[in-house]
Amino acid sequence: MFLYQSKRCLQRAKEKGFAMKTTMMAAAVYTACVCTPAVAGVGLSEFYITDGQGRVFSVDTGTYEASLLFDIDGHGFITDLAYIGNDRVLVQNGGVFTSYDVNSPSANGTVEYDLYDRFGDGVHLAAGLDIDPSGQINFAVQSFPPNGNDTRYIASYDPMTDSYTTGASFDTFASFLDVHRYDGDVFLGANFSENAVRVFDSVTGETIAEHQVGFGVVSFFEVSDVIYAVGKLGGVYTYDPTDGSTSLLGTITGAGDSIIGATVPAPSGLALFGAGLLGVSRRRR
């Protein structure tokens, strides 16, 4: 049933290109994906991580040493971050998505999207963050309506059209703190307390496979069709969703043991995500 072998390079070649649209706030997003073989090692020179204390670091993949870039005030419930171009990262903080310039740590972040703007009553918690090649922002949501049982599902927000869509409710025992779109409607979900990765269909809610990987995955990122998993204790691994196999590349030092999210900037010469503001409506804070 699970035949989602790495056919994505061909698929992405078809998707390659730039998409731009002017919004009310003159915001623009464009994406591009280049299918090139991964360089031996990691295939990139650095990546960014964040932790439960609201600190954002850059990591040198030659040494896996982390260097503090800035602290996020009022960090609350940060579960992930994603690179969005022009040296900016988008941080997911309990359903509030805020962008920061990694070169201007003293600058205030810009709220690009607030999940609570979509809902009225109830409590809605978001976790994880993934931006796919189409530019959609994907994350897991647990909703507690005023009356009724809680539900858990994958939500997608399209900043180009300001549209918000949800998938099927999945197993209420599955609590994903990180998600990654793998192929079409198929996602990877991880909760670092379970030492496992679940491969599931976001439309049907069906679990396709569950892999015991032996470490708590806090974040995924992808470069040149290779998926990387970062562990809570700092291990950086390659991960194969077809069979769950992993390979340790190195261990991050200098960032403590509460890493919660990771993202890769565009490697030199590869524009994975373009520059531009994300939200149709934004609030400065």
- DSSP-based three-state secondary structure for 46: strand
Helices (H), the chain: 8-15
Average pLDDT over residues 126-133: 88
What's the gap between Cα 16 and its chain centre? 20
- Asked whether the predicted pLDDT for residue 92 surpasses 80, the reply is yes
Region 113-126: mean pLDDT is: 82
Question: In this predicted model, what pLDDT tens digit does every residue of 147-180 receive, in sequence order?
Answer: 777 888 999 998 888 889 998 888 655 677 899 9
Q: What is the per-residue pLDDT across 189-226, written as a single tens digit (0 to 9) for each?
A: 998 888 999 999 999 988 999 999 999 999 999 888 89
Nearest CA to 93 among 105, 109, 107?
Answer: 109
Ranges 97-101, 145-149, 279-283: which has the least confidence:
279-283
* pLDDT tens-digit series, residues 238-268: 999 999 999 999 999 999 888 999 998 854 3
Distant-in-sequence, close-in-space partners of 148: CB < 8 Å, separation ≥ 6:
none
Contact present, 53 and 59 (Cβ < 8 Å): no
Q: What is residue 173's predicted lDDT score, i.e. its pLDDT?
A: 55
- Quote the CA–CA distance of 117 and 129 in Å, as a whole number: 18
Beta bridge pairs of residue 202: none
> SS3 for 12?
helix
Given a cut of 50, whether residue 285 has pLDDT beyond it is no
Query: In the prediction, which pLDDT does 135 show?
Result: 84
Tokens of 122: 């109830």
Return the structure tokens found at 30: 């464009």
pTM above 0.85, yes or no: no
With H, G, I as helix, E, B as strand and everything else as coil, classify residue 10: helix
pLDDT for residue 240:
96
- Would the pLDDT of 107 be above 90? no
Residues 6+ apart with CB under 8 A from 269: none
Whether residue 115 is predicted with pLDDT greater than 90 in this model: the reply is: no
* Whole-angstrom distance, CA of residue 234 vs CA of residue 176: 19
CA–CA distance, 125 with 141 (Å, rounded to integer) = 6
* 175-192 pLDDT tens trace: 778 999 999 999 999 988
Give the mean model confidence (pLDDT) for residues 96-113.
82
CA distance 33 to 9: 9
What DSSP state is assigned to residue 30?
A: -
Q: Looking at the predicted structure, is the pLDDT value of residue 1 above 70? A: no
The predicted pLDDT at position 266 comes to 56
Query: Per-residue pLDDT tens for 18-50?
Result: 222 222 222 323 333 333 333 334 456 689 999
Sign for the CA dihedral angle at 114, 119, 121, 126 comes to negative
Average pLDDT in the 62-86 region? 86
pLDDT attached to residue 225? 87
Report the pLDDT value the prediction gives residue 238, as an integer from 0 to 100. Answer: 95
